[in-house]
Amino acid sequence: MFWRTFIFSLFLLAGVLVGEVLLPIKNYWESAFISLLVTCFVLYLFDINRASTTLSWLKGDDLQAPPFLRGVWGEIGDRVVRVVKMREREKLKSNARLTEFLAAIQASPHGVLLINPEGRIEWSNEMAKVHLGIDLQRDKDQLIGNLVRDPAYTAYAHSLVYDHEVVIEGVQSQFQNYSKISLQLFPYGDGHKLMLTRDITALEQAELMRRDFVANVSHEIRTPLTVLAGFVETMQNLRLAPEEQTHYLALMQQQASRMQILVQDLLTLSKLEGSPLPSALDWFSLEALLNNCEVEARGLSKTLLQDEQAPHELIFEYEGPEGGVEISGNKAEIQSAMSNLISNALRYTPLGAQVRVNCLILPTGEWRFVVKDNGVGIAAEHIPRLTERFYRVDRSRSRETGGTGLGLAIVKHVIQRHGGEMHIQSVLGKGSEFSWVLPKTRVRGIEVRESSALLN
């Protein structure tokens, strides 16, 4: 402002001097006044030109490059540029935060939809497409009620009471057997709504399994208890011959053993689910395990003999390093899993038929254990559910063979705890093959361990 005042004064002085020299007016004050008016007009035109230049620049698109001006207009231009740059930085930061926020919502396991007061979709994340089949590019500005047609949601949306969730069929139910989605509306702003969706299929299945588990346990225990109670009442109220007492006591012992086995299997499952994972530092001989299983299997096969029937044709095979193999983990659990598969094969394979047990070390270093029989086989629709607790293909046959319906569930838990995978293949009427593969980190050759010890 000082320089502007100084320059303005110089112009005035110059104008007065020029007026004195050029104007033919003898009166000094008249000459000075006219010179002052001319000077002010020139300065006015000069400012108008700079103001017009500045205004044209402000109306343009490139506010980062102001015109070269001095004085107040130059200062105005510089300040505008600083404000614009500051606003641009704030805008970039705001856009970055918005991008991060949207990315976080996109990564959310829950579906998120923004719905305007008219009930039309303004925005949705990818998970909403998985849960409800809503594609933002295709369905933006569409009425949510036209896309989510479940009667439960329609009643929920019209109730205007959104303090609870509503469960509907998921879009994947069209392609899979089961899919449940929970959604809830949250009003905000002036009539807008936020919809959150989440997949509760696993929770629903877990609840269903829990109810089935309780029902199955109750049924499995109630049946032998009913038999026991009936025999006890009979022996209390009737005079029985010694032979009859012996027969009834044997039946009671059978039912008591059945309940004991059931309780033991339940405790085993509970222990497997609640205990830490097996250590990778506890090593034991695979050959010893296989020998124990063979002794148990041949003994069980003999107990199943009836009349003059031939025993099972039991074949045990081993394919691996000559020096032997060691496995790391829980020895008792692995032994139990191996025995379960072999005993199942024997119980569900007719006497005289073949049961083959194959234990091999794969070229990748993994351990594969296979139990194959040529028994009755299993229909394809039952195979995916065989490892569920208490699931039986034939309940009457399971009770005849003394099964509890928990054996394969125990085997699956044991193998998963050791980092392995279980596989089941079967053809009805042709036999079954149960196998598992344990990772190479739990397998080592005995000779490798001894040579490494010598090197140390």
Measured between alpha carbons, how far is residue 406 from residues 276, 335, 353, 394 in Å? 21, 16, 25, 14
How confident is the model over 376-401, as a mean pLDDT? Answer: 74
- Domain containing 219: what range? 203-275
For residue 430, what is the domain's CATH number?
3.30.565.10
The answer as to whether 296 is a domain residue is yes
Name the nearest CA neighbour of 313 among 260, 350, 257, 352: 352
Domain containing residue 256: CATH number: 1.10.287.130
Q: pLDDT tier at 424 (50, 70, 90 boundaries)?
A: very high
pLDDT band at 194 (very low <50, low <70, confident <90, very high): very high
| Higher-scoring residue by pLDDT: 155, 262 | 155
131 and 182 part of one domain = yes
What pLDDT, on the 0 to 100 scale, is given for residue 8? 61
- Answer with the residue of higher pLDDT: 349 or 452: 349
Asked if residue 98 is part of any domain, the answer here is no
Q: In this structure, what is the dihedral angle of CA atoms 92, 95, 97, 100, given to the nearest 10 degrees?
A: -120
For the cut 50, the answer to whether the pLDDT of residue 73 exceeds it is: yes
Whether the pLDDT of residue 354 is over 80: the answer is: yes
Lowest mean pLDDT among 138-152, 207-221, 328-342: 207-221
Query: Which positions ≥6 away from 361 have C-beta within 8 Å?
Result: 319, 320, 321, 325, 367, 368, 443
Are 225 and 181 in the same domain? no
Query: Is there a domain that residue 95 lies in?
Result: no
Residue 99 lies in a domain: no
**How far is residue 149's CA from residue 218's CA, in Å, rounded to a whole number?**
40
96 within a domain of the structure (yes/no): no
If we measure between CA atoms, which residue out of 157, 174, 173 comes closest to residue 165?
Answer: 157
Which of 110-114, 143-147, 226-230 shows the lowest mean pLDDT across its residues?
Answer: 226-230
Does residue 369 have a pLDDT over 90?
Answer: yes
Mean pLDDT on 98-119: 87
Q: Do 30 and 115 fall within a single domain?
A: no
In a shared domain, residues 64 and 127 = no
Does one domain contain both 285 and 434?
A: yes
Q: Which has the higher per-residue pLDDT, 78 or 92?
A: 92
- pLDDT of 415 > 90? The answer is yes
pLDDT of residue 40: 72
Q: Are residues 302 and 411 in the same domain?
A: yes
What value does the mean pLDDT of the chain take? 80
* Mean local confidence (pLDDT), 270-274: 78
Are 322 and 404 in a shared domain? yes
Q: How confident is the model at residue 280 (pLDDT cuts 50, 70, 90)?
A: confident
Cα–chain center distance at 163: 27
Give yes or no: residues 216 and 170 share one domain.
no
**Predicted pLDDT at 186:** 93
Q: Is 376 inside a domain boundary?
A: yes
For residue 452, what pLDDT is reported? 39
- pLDDT tens digits along 219-255: 778 877 888 888 888 888 888 888 888 888 888 888 8
Count of structural domains within the chain: 4
150 against 14, higher pLDDT: 150
pLDDT for the residue numbered 448: 46
Last residue of a domain, one of 199, 219, 247: 199
pLDDT band at 113 (very low <50, low <70, confident <90, very high): very high
Collapsing DSSP to helix, strand or coil, 268 comes out as helix
Q: Is 132's pLDDT higher than 70? A: yes
In angstroms, rounded to a whole number, what is the distance separating the alpha carbons of residues 418 and 162? 46
In a domain, 207, yes or no: yes
pLDDT given at position 356: 92
Query: pLDDT tens across 313-324, in order?
Result: 889 988 888 778
Give the number of residues written for the chain.
Answer: 456
